[in-house]
Structure 1
């Protein structure tokens, strides 16, 4: 197999550019990925750390409020249940996150509570009481047990709480009861929104996960993930107390750029060890890198094309004489009009060029003669209008087009009224000029894709493309326009001459027979116009 010089140069240049492009993609893509990973990953890790701090700060604040409340004198013996209930309800009213707050005696009996829920019941078996008797207790997120049917829940979602309880001491320092509170876990959504909403304005597809240290359950995140187990190597790094980022995969092939932080408490609040993970699909995180890679690919391909073209022209310059002759020959074969180039530097090329030029000149002269003869055979020598042969050729194409478009052809047979008198009075020369002017007016009355043909003498045929719905009305408009134009005076040799025009018309439909029958009917209609007073249009009834 052999290749020409142009192909070799173009291919070599293109391959070199493509290889260079691949190298650039690898180098720039690798560095850009590291840069984007560091930038976005660091941002996600920072937001994860901020959310962990917010969660811990919130729990620290709420536990502090419960502790301060437990120091009030109202909880010292003897108890004033009305005052205690007022304090508890005021706390809930001021901070709705306290879904339920209750004051329990040392036996676990609920002495007072918000909205009197569980009042008088014993909850000594609940961790919020048992752990609260020992000291400050902050429990992890759990589903509602006793309160699930007692608290209003318009949305119907499972109720979840975080417990806070502290022991109550009398003036002698003895434990006399427990102040217990259930904080609605919905408060975490507010923290989530405060972090995620601004983040989503800068990053698409970001999601937040808060995972329990107790059982690796997802406490906060997308609805379809809450309550499920989270198992991934990133969790091991979070539990190790690291606040950083990584690219990780969860289960399948979905990759994420993940920032993570560990909730290790706030001031004297030890924290519940919640792991906060903020992640973004790697496809979105590295979209800018992929876009840069696509840009490099497109630029490389464009460069390959440009240098391929340069190679093409370089090889063409090297082999210019023969290629120029070859290109000229190709153009000539496609119908273009070009000269065969010559080259004085190479004798053989000069001889070949001269021989081809002589051949082209001879062929051009022969083609011109044939074209002129063909044109003369298809047109009327006096008016320049198509003749009967051209009309037959036009009809063959028009019939095919009409059948395809489901339209019609309207045939107008025309004959001049009073033409013989002009010939007899002013001579045949004047009559010929009159026919030429009539031909011009007929062309003005029709469209470019229609035909006006002269059959002989003062007899003409017009073929119109008309619609399937109203062919007679459309052809009558054209025929009337023709009659009006022909009736206008003709200025010839200083004389104002007048002739009329009789028209016979017929319509050919695609489902009819041969169009020759419609031509015959139009011819018959012409004679009806003549006998009926001339200068009018008649449609053949049989059409």
Structure 2
């Protein structure tokens, strides 16, 4: 089918504008998405961290108050049930969060308590008594069936408490009893409101969760989910100890932009390992980006239509020079190395010719930059090592080869012992230089067909190609070499630094599970190494 010059020219203008619009929409959309993700994600992570710290600070304060109260003479040398009960009632009156406070003798009998609830009852079998005999005890959130029947409960909902108890010592330093308290979990709602309400004014659809470490139970969250078990993968990321954010994308479920933080205690209070998760639906978080993309697309289509009309009107004026340009453009489309011809017949045609040449050059430069950016996206900026994305790509190929050759892959999950001290003592610049040297040493311990990836901070993953017969022995040899290398002194800015490293290992085989599970097992083994004295390798038993 033959097309007129005007049709061809106007169509070419429209196509060029549409392509440029699509490219512009893609680039701006990606950049805007990243900007929104960093901005909102960092805000959610900061709020989660703040709430985690408030929860731990509150528990530290309450346990400290109970401990200070236990030092009073009225408890160390009880002068009367009435006086002790009066002190406890005064504590509850001053701090209503203490739902129940009781003084127990050393056999577990409640000698005195607030409002005389449970007074005279023996609760020696309760953890709040048994654990306090060993030292200060803080228990996780739980239902209290006995107290629920005795305490006022206008809402009718199940009451939940947090236990705090301390041993009471007499003048001779012997345990004479226990001071125990139940804190109403409702105080957590006040902490949530103080942090989340201002956040909800800025961000729509925000949800807050506080999750127990003991059984992944949602202690605080939307009413429909409270008390249920959380299975989200982000929970394990949060328990790594870092405060950060992530985009949750699970098949069959809504996507969320999620900030998280892990409660690791405050001062001398060790914490109960509560995980705070604050999330916002991704479609709400990125709504502004989608609106911008639609605006760009609509504007581009309107611009394309306008240029098509202009092209139609100008086509009769510039027929012959444009035919040459069109022919050359077809050659460029086929991949030929040619240049757009110039024309002196019409000034506008000459400008168009020059503009098209500039466009081709810019597109070539853009393609080169995009290729460079793609490579940078797969490497850690500080150390130059592959990052998590590169690790995933490597594993996809490595697993395929291992299945063909019936060999194994050994996962070494490691982090540095003493790195935080170096950072705190000498500063982050020295810490960064140390990480670069560690990266160099790790590369020196592996072969070309293996990978050393940095996951973040001082955490690294090494994937080794090992045999099917003795993979653990081969991995242990490499791990021992790594530990030896890392233990050697590192000279940075005239300072001789020393760090160690702990390694967790797990072996993947073609008949085993997936690589994600193997990496998780190696991570668990790492924590066993850390708890067992550090600077050693531990193989996960399940591997």
Q: TM-score range by the shorter chain?
A: 0.5 to 0.7
Other-structure match for 1:307: 307
Question: Matched residue of 1:152: which SS?
Answer: coil
Q: 1:127-526 to 2 correspondence within 5 Å?
A: 127-249=127-249, 252-315=252-315
Please list the CA deviations of residues 349-392 of structure 1 after superposition, one character each: whole Å capped at 9, or x if unmatched. xxxxxxxxxxxxxxxxxxxxxxxxxxxxxxxxxxxxxxxxxxxx
CA distance in 1, matches of 2:26, 2:146: 61
Question: Matched residue of 2:121: which SS?
Answer: coil
Other-structure match for 1:68: 68
CA distance in 1, matches of 2:131, 2:250: 37
CA distance in 2, matches of 1:214, 1:225: 17
Please list the CA deviations of residues 13-40 of structure 1 after superposition, one character each: whole Å capped at 9, or x if unmatched. 1111111111111111111111111111
CA distance in 2, matches of 1:55, 1:243: 15
CA distance in 2, matches of 1:253, 1:180: 44
Other-structure match for 1:102: 102
Other-structure match for 1:532: none
How many residues align? The count is: 319
Other-structure match for 1:401: none
CA distance in 2, matches of 1:284, 1:213: 29
Other-structure match for 2:37: 37
CA distance 1:150–1:133, shift in 2 (3 Å): same
Q: Give the C-alpha shift of residue 249 in structure 1.
A: 2.9
Please list the CA deviations of residues 279-310 of structure 1 after superposition, one character each: whole Å capped at 9, or x if unmatched. 11111111121111111111111111111121
Question: Matched residue of 1:111: which SS?
Answer: strand
Please list the CA deviations of residues 91-130 of structure 1 after superposition, one character each: whole Å capped at 9, or x if unmatched. 1111111011111111111111111111111111110011
Please list the CA deviations of residues 210-255 of structure 1 after superposition, one character each: whole Å capped at 9, or x if unmatched. 1111011111111111111111221111111111111113563311
Q: Give the C-alpha shift of residue 317 in structure 1.
A: 5.8
CA distance in 2, matches of 1:197, 1:64: 29
- Do 2:70 and 2:76's aligned partners in 1 also have CA atoms closer than 8 Å? no
Question: Matched residue of 1:300: which SS?
Answer: helix
Other-structure match for 1:12: 12
Q: Give the C-alpha shift of residue 4 in structure 1.
A: 3.7
CA distance 1:78–1:44, shift in 2 (3 Å): closer
CA distance in 2, matches of 1:310, 1:78: 98
Please list the CA deviations of residues 477-502 of structure 1 after superposition, one character each: whole Å capped at 9, or x if unmatched. xxxxxxxxxxxxxxxxxxxxxxxxxx
CA distance in 1, matches of 2:95, 2:9: 79
Please list the CA deviations of residues 32-56 of structure 1 after superposition, one character each: whole Å capped at 9, or x if unmatched. 1111111111111111111110000
CA distance in 1, matches of 2:11, 2:165: 79
CA distance in 2, matches of 1:133, 1:249: 47
CA distance in 2, matches of 1:312, 1:156: 76
CA distance 1:72–1:279, shift in 2 (3 Å): same
CA distance in 1, matches of 2:6, 2:190: 69
| Unmatched tracts of structure 1, length 5 or more | 320-543
Other-structure match for 1:91: 91
TM normalised by structure 2 equals 0.57
Question: Matched residue of 2:223: which SS?
Answer: coil
- Do 2:261 and 2:277's aligned partners in 1 also have CA atoms closer than 8 Å? yes
Q: Which runs of 4+ in 1 moved over 6 A?
A: none
Question: Matched residue of 1:149: which SS?
Answer: helix
Question: Which structure would you say has the larger Rg?
Answer: 1
Q: Give the C-alpha shift of residue 144 in structure 1.
A: 1.5
Q: Give the C-alpha shift of residue 133 in structure 1.
A: 1.4
Question: Matched residue of 1:252: which SS?
Answer: coil
**Greater Cα offset, 91-100 or 308-317:** 308-317
CA distance 1:176–1:250, shift in 2 (3 Å): farther
- Do 2:234 and 2:248's aligned partners in 1 also have CA atoms closer than 8 Å? yes
Other-structure match for 1:119: 119
Question: Matched residue of 1:75: which SS?
Answer: helix
| Unmatched tracts of structure 2, length 5 or more | 320-543
CA distance in 2, matches of 1:99, 1:24: 61
Please list the CA deviations of residues 463-486 of structure 1 after superposition, one character each: whole Å capped at 9, or x if unmatched. xxxxxxxxxxxxxxxxxxxxxxxx
CA distance 1:251–1:119, shift in 2 (3 Å): farther
CA distance in 1, matches of 2:236, 2:153: 36
TM normalised by structure 1 equals 0.57
CA distance in 1, matches of 2:184, 2:108: 22
CA distance in 1, matches of 2:35, 2:212: 32
CA distance in 1, matches of 2:305, 2:163: 69
Question: Matched residue of 1:168: which SS?
Answer: strand
CA distance in 2, matches of 1:184, 1:251: 38
Other-structure match for 1:452: none
CA distance in 2, matches of 1:120, 1:79: 17
Other-structure match for 1:337: none
CA distance in 1, matches of 2:282, 2:112: 53
